[in-house]
Amino acid sequence: MTVNPELFDVETDSDELTDDTTWAQHAALANEVLQQLEGASLSSTFRLASGAGTFYEPLCDPQYRATIEDTYEETVAPFLLGGHKKTMIGVEYPVVENGVWLDAPRQPDGTSCGVMVIAQVYCMLKDNFRFTKATVSADDVAVMRLRIMWMILMQPA
pLDDT of residue 1: 36
- What's the CA gap between 69 and 82, in Å, rounded? 19
Q: What's the mean pLDDT in 2-14?
A: 49
Q: Look at 103 and 92; give whichever has higher pLDDT.
A: 92
- State phi, psi for 80 to the nearest 5 degrees: -65, -40
pLDDT of residue 44: 46
Half-sphere CA count of 23, side-chain side, radius 13 A: 12
Amino acid sitting at position 23: W
pTM for the predicted model, two decimal places: 0.35
- What's the CA gap between 131 and 134, in Å, rounded? 8
Q: How far is CA 120 from the centre of its chain?
A: 11
* Highest-confidence segment of 18-22, 36-40, 151-155: 151-155
Average pLDDT, the chain: 66
Q: What's the mean pLDDT in 122-135?
A: 65
Given a contact cutoff of 8 angstroms between Cβ atoms, the answer to whether 115 and 144 are in contact is yes
* Highest-confidence segment of 44-53, 82-91, 115-124, 138-147: 82-91
Residues 6+ apart with CB under 8 A from 33: 48, 53
pLDDT of residue 129: 61
Residues 6+ apart with CB under 8 A from 113: 107
Query: Nearest-CA neighbor of 25 among 47, 1, 3?
Result: 3
